[in-house]
């Protein structure tokens, strides 16, 4: 199911095997919350060789609804995607509805952000919803503690997540996939920025025997140093033969630093959201395409990039599209940003396989700076 094929220090290169294809790691998963990666087509994602994308149980449960997905054969068929899919449990989305939800031992009651209708998520219902979705990798229901929070709250939250994880695991083992392909389940380590709580959470989850483990509740306002400290603490406590997933992270620098600490899988809205807002990642830093400095610039976004956008269009044209509010601007910038992220992961994998990761990392952290610059 998961094999580590090379290691250079804590950094790992592996393969996650699913019935919808092998996923080389480290890997970045484009975020397709509602069954679509915003501004790009599935055909384009396949051309970028994205091996796995992320969907969200909360959004898919509300719309189109699990009844429709059941009737139409699951999310893969519904969106015409024959590669792997991971679904988040929707816990983060539910708990971000602070004025519209109530947490209890049984689960969480919340009101839809779409129409105000009332719903309940229990660990068991979330497993059932993901059986209907048919994702290759499903996540357990967890509570994402806010930042900052007092230790007492973080402890209650992490312990609740562990109890929910046990119920989720039981529901998973007692149920079967619905569409003929194998599904696996990841537990989620919580505990805010408190290292001992994180370790207690990790130990509890490992005892439940999940097929993989995620580190959740980060990138919610804490410093980058705090994030790295937690990852450095938790990753070695997780089984070496299971994939490790850092949820919702992050900038190119975050990805490099987390891989260097033993993380295998990532997702984040940054490349797609930033692209739709005219900010693109390049090997020389980030560019704001709305800036007037690009109005007559004939260069591609990044001369080192081989994506369709960089092979075909100038910075001047891309700026024109954004200023004119043309939909094509969103597509072209997103394609480039996703290429940048996917190529970054491939470069890390190659460096690990060739046992030169630390030297590569030193150079990459300079080139992949997430700061905004108007020109290199």
Exposed e or buried b per residue across 37-48, where buried means at least 16 C-beta atoms within 10 angstroms of its C-beta:
bbbbebebbeeb
pTM: 0.96
Across 178-192, average pLDDT: 98
C-alpha dist (Å) from residue 25 to 282, 317, 342: 22, 35, 11
Q: Which residues contact 118 (CB under 8 A, 6 or more apart)?
A: 109, 110, 111, 112
Across 3-30, average pLDDT: 98
Strand 137-139 versus strand 184-189 pairing type: parallel
pLDDT of residue 1 exceeding 50: yes
- Position 374 confidence tier, pLDDT thresholds 50, 70, 90: very low
Residue 325, H or E segment: none
Question: Hey, is 109 helix, strand or coil?
Answer: strand
* Alpha-carbon gap, residue 159 to 146, rounded angstroms: 15
Q: What pLDDT shows up at residue 365?
A: 78
Q: What pLDDT shows up at residue 94?
A: 76
Strand 11-18 versus strand 2-8 pairing type: antiparallel
* Helix residue ranges, H only, 72-183: 75-79, 91-96, 123-133, 151-173
Q: What pLDDT shows up at residue 367?
A: 63
Q: What pLDDT shows up at residue 368?
A: 53
- Give 21 or 366, the one with higher predicted confidence: 21
Exposed e or buried b per residue across 100-118, where buried means at least 16 C-beta atoms within 10 angstroms of its C-beta:
ebeeeeebbbbeeeeeeee
**If we measure between CA atoms, which residue out of 172, 155, 240 comes closest to residue 206?**
240
Q: Which residues contact 134 (CB under 8 A, 6 or more apart)?
A: 69, 73, 74, 75, 76, 85, 177, 178, 179, 181, 183
Structure tokens belonging to residue 312: 């075909």
Structural domains in the chain, CATH included, are 2-268 (3.20.20.105), 275-373 (no CATH)
Render pLDDT for 62-88 as a digit per residue (tens, 0 to 9).
999 999 999 999 999 999 999 999 999
* Alpha-carbon gap, residue 356 to 358, rounded angstroms: 6
Cα 5 versus chain centre, distance: 22
Render pLDDT for 78-122 as a digit per residue (tens, 0 to 9).
999 999 999 999 888 877 777 778 899 999 999 998 999 999 999
Q: For residue 120, what is the DSSP state?
A: E
As a whole-number percent, the residues of the chain with pLDDT over 90 amount to 91
Render pLDDT for 222-240 as a digit per residue (tens, 0 to 9).
999 999 999 999 999 999 9
Render pLDDT for 332-353 as a digit per residue (tens, 0 to 9).
999 999 999 999 999 999 999 9
Q: What pLDDT shows up at residue 211?
A: 98
pLDDT of residue 371 exceeding 60: no
With beta carbons less than 8 A apart as the criterion, state whether 301 and 282 touch: yes
Across 303-330, average pLDDT: 98
Render pLDDT for 34-54 as a digit per residue (tens, 0 to 9).
999 999 999 999 999 999 999
> What positions carry a catalytic annotation?
88, 267
- Give 195 or 284, the one with higher predicted confidence: 195
Cα 300 versus chain centre, distance: 28
pLDDT of residue 272 exceeding 50: yes
**If we measure between CA atoms, which residue out of 90, 176, 164, 174 comes closest to residue 131?**
176
Burial of 345 (0-12, 13-18, 19+ CB in 10 A): buried
**If we measure between CA atoms, which residue out of 170, 141, 169 comes closest to residue 57?**
141
Chain position carrying tokens 């998973």: 172
Strand order across the beta sheet in which 21-25 lies: 2-8, 11-18, 21-25
- Position 375 confidence tier, pLDDT thresholds 50, 70, 90: very low
Average pLDDT, the chain: 95
């Amino acid at each position: 199911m998961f094999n580590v094929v090379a290691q250079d220090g804590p950094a790992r290169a592996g393969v996650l095997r699913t019935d919808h294809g092998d996923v080389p790691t480290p890997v970045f998963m484009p975020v397709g919350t509602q069954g679509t990666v915003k501004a790009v087509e599935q055909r384009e994602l396949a051309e970028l060789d994205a091996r796995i994308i992320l969907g969200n149980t909360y959004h898919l449960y509300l719309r189109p609804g699990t009844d429709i997905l059941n009737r139409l054969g699951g999310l893969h068929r519904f969106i015409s995607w024959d590669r792997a899919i991971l679904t988040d449990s929707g816990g983060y989305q539910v708990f971000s509805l602070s004025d519209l939800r109530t947490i209890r031992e049984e689960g969480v009651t919340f009101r839809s952000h779409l129409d105000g209708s009332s719903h309940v998520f229990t660990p068991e219902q979330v497993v059932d919803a993901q059986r209907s979705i048919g994702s290759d990798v499903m996540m357990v229901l967890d509570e994402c503690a806010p930042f900052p929070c007092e230790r007492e709250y973080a402890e209650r939250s992490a312990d609740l997540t562990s109890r929910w994880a046990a119920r989720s695991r039981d529901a998973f083992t007692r149920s079967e996939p619905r569409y003929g392909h194998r599904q696996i389940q990841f537990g989620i380590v919580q505990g805010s920025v408190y290292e001992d709580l994180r370790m207690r959470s990790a130990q509890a989850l490992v005892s439940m025997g999940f097929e993989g483990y995620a580190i959740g509740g980060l990138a919610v306002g804490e410093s980058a140093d705090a994030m790295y400290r937690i990852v450095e603490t938790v990753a070695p406590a997780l089984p070496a033969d299971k994939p490790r997933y850092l949820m919702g992270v992050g900038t190119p620098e975050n990805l490099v630093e987390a891989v260097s600490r033993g993380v295998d899988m990532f997702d984040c809205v940054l490349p797609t959201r930033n692209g739709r807002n005219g900010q693109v990642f390049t090997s020389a830093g980030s560019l704001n395409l709305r800036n007037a400095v690009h109005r007559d610039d004939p260069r591609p976004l990044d001369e080192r990039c081989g994506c369709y956008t960089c092979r075909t269009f100038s910075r001047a044209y891309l700026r024109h599209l954004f200023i004119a509010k043309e939909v094509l601007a969103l597509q072209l910038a997103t394609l480039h940003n996703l290429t940048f992220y996917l190529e970054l992961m491939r470069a890390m994998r190659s460096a690990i396989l060739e046992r030169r990761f630390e030297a590569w990392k030193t150079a990459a952290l300079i080139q992949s700076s997430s700061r905004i610059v108007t020109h290199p």
